[in-house]
C-alpha cells in the first residue's frame, strides 16, 4: 500500500509499514509489533519529541559509554529494524563500544537476520552469534550472552528491554542505560540511567553527544545521575500534555452553556429568572 506523504501521520505510518515488512521477513516478531504500539502511545503522550529531561539523560549516557571500561549495546529485532544505522553511528562515535545481538524470542535465523541488518548498516563487528556465557537467574533466552561482550561489560545500553534482564545485569555489578518510551515500565524503573525517548532519536542524540568529545579524551568517571527526577520529569510532561489536551476544545465544537459558566466561575450559582 502506498502511503501519501500528505497524510498527517505519514512518518508514523511509514515506520509501521517498515516494521510490518520486517515482521514478514522474520526480523521482528509479532510481539515486537505490539511493543511498538505501546511505544507509539507513550511517544504521543510525550509530544513525539525529545523532552529536556531526555536530552539531559542522553548527554550523561554518552559520557557513561565513553567513560566505561567496556561498554556494550544490546540489539533485538525491533532495534535492528528501526535503528541499525543509529547503532552503527553510535559504534563509530564511542571507541571500543561493542554491539551484541540479544533476543527474547531467540532462533538461529533471527540472530542471523539481526546481524545482517547491523552489518548492512555499517557495524563492523557483531557479537552474540554464538553465546559463550549465561546471565544467572534469568529464565529466558536473553540470558545467553557473549563472554567477551555483555558478560564482560561494565556499562550496558539496552534499548527496548525487559525489567528482568535489567535487574539481572545489575546483580552482576553492571550499570544499565535503558531506552524506553514508557517511564512506568519495569526497565525504566530499574535502570541506573533511564532514557525516556524514541529509540532512533535517543541513539542519534547519544551519538551526537559522544561525537562532541574531542579525539581520545574521555570523561574520567561515570557522572552521578538522578534517575528518580528523570522519570518524574517524563511523567510530569505526560501529565501536562494530557491536561492541556483535555482543556483544548475540539475544533468547530460550540461550547455548551455549562462550559461557558464553568470558565466564568459562575457554575453552581442559581440563575436569576428575568
Q: Which residues bind ligand PTJ (CB under 6 A)?
A: 29, 31-32, 35-36, 38-39, 42, 76-78, 82, 103-105, 160, 162, 179-182, 185, 198-199
Q: Which of 77, 66, 69, 151 is nearest to 115 (CA)?
A: 77
Q: How far is the CB of 35 from ligand PTJ (least distance, A)?
A: 3
Q: Which is nearer to ligand PTJ, 179 or 238 (CB)?
A: 179
Backbone angles phi, psi at 10, to 5 degrees: -55, -50
- Closest-approach residue to ligand PTJ (CB): 39
Runs of H (alpha helix) within 107-256: 108-120, 163-171, 186-190, 199-211, 227-247
What the block records as the C-alpha cell of 13 is 505510518
Q: Which of 214, 206, 220, 228 is nearest to 60 (CA)?
A: 206
178 membership: H or E segment, kind and range: strand 175-179
273 class by beta-carbon count within 10 Å (0-12 exposed, 13-18 middle, 19+ buried): exposed
Q: How far is the CB of 191 from ligand PTJ (least distance, A)?
A: 12
Q: Which is nearer to ligand PTJ, 164 or 269 (CB)?
A: 164
Q: Which is nearer to ligand PTJ, 142 or 175 (CB)?
A: 142
Q: How far is the CB of 153 from ligand PTJ (least distance, A)?
A: 18
Give me the DSSP letters along 186-210: HHHHH-SEEE-S-HHHHHHHHHHHH
Q: Which is nearer to ligand PTJ, 10 or 262 (CB)?
A: 10
Q: How far is the CB of 124 from ligand PTJ (least distance, A)?
A: 22
Q: How far is the CB of 92 from ligand PTJ (least distance, A)?
A: 21
Q: Which is nearer to ligand PTJ, 42 or 151 (CB)?
A: 42
Q: Which of 127, 39, 124 is nearest to 89 (CA)?
A: 124
Q: Which is nearer to ligand PTJ, 78 or 204 (CB)?
A: 78
Question: What letter does residue 142 receive in the DSSP assignment?
Answer: G
Q: How far is the CB of 132 from ligand PTJ (least distance, A)?
A: 19
Q: Which is nearer to ligand PTJ, 50 or 155 (CB)?
A: 50
Q: How far is CA 254 from CA 147, 158, 245, in A?
A: 65, 48, 17
Q: How far is the CB of 255 from ligand PTJ (least distance, A)?
A: 36
Amino acid at each position: 500500500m502506498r502511503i501519501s506523504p500528505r497524510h498527517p501521520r505519514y512518518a508514523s505510518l511509514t515506520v509501521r509499514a517498515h516494521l510490518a515488512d520486517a515482521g514478514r521477513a522474520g526480523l521482528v516478531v509479532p510481539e515486537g509489533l505490539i511493543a511498538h504500539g505501546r511505544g507509539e502511545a507513550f511517544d504521543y503522550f510525550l509530544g513525539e519529541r525529545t523532552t529536556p529531561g531526555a536530552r539531559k539523560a542522553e548527554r550523561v549516557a554518552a559520557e557513561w559509554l565513553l567513560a566505561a571500561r567496556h561498554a556494550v549495546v544490546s540489539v533485538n529485532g525491533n532495534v535492528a529494524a528501526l535503528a541499525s544505522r543509529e547503532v552503527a553511528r553510535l559504534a563509530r562515535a564511542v571507541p571500543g563500544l561493542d554491539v551484541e545481538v540479544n533476543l527474547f524470542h531467540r532462533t538461529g535465523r533471527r540472530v542471523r537476520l539481526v546481524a545482517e541488518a547491523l552489518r548492512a548498516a555499517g557495524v563492523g563487528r557483531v557479537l552474540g552469534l554464538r553465546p559463550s556465557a549465561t546471565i544467572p537467574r534469568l529464565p529466558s533466552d536473553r540470558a545467553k550472552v557473549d563472554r567477551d561482550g555483555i558478560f564482560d561489560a561494565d556499562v550496558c545500553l539496552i534499548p527496548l528491554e525487559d525489567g528482568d534482564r535489567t535487574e539481572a545485569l545489575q546483580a552482576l555489578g553492571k550499570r544499565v542505560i535503558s531506552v524506553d518510551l514508557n517511564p512506568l515500565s519495569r526497565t525504566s524503573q530499574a535502570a541506573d540511567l533511564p532514557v525516556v525517548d524514541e529509540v532512533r532519536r535517543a541513539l542519534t542524540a547519544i551519538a551526537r553527544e559522544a561525537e562532541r568529545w574531542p579525539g581520545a579524551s574521555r570523561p574520567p568517571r561515570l557522572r552521578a545521575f538522578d534517575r528518580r527526577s528523570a522519570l518524574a520529569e517524563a511523567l510530569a510532561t505526560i501529565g501536562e500534555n494530557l491536561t492541556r489536551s483535555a482543556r483544548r476544545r475540539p475544533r468547530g465544537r460550540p461550547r455548551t452553556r455549562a462550559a461557558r459558566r464553568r470558565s466564568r466561575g459562575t457554575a453552581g450559582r442559581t440563575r436569576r429568572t428575568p
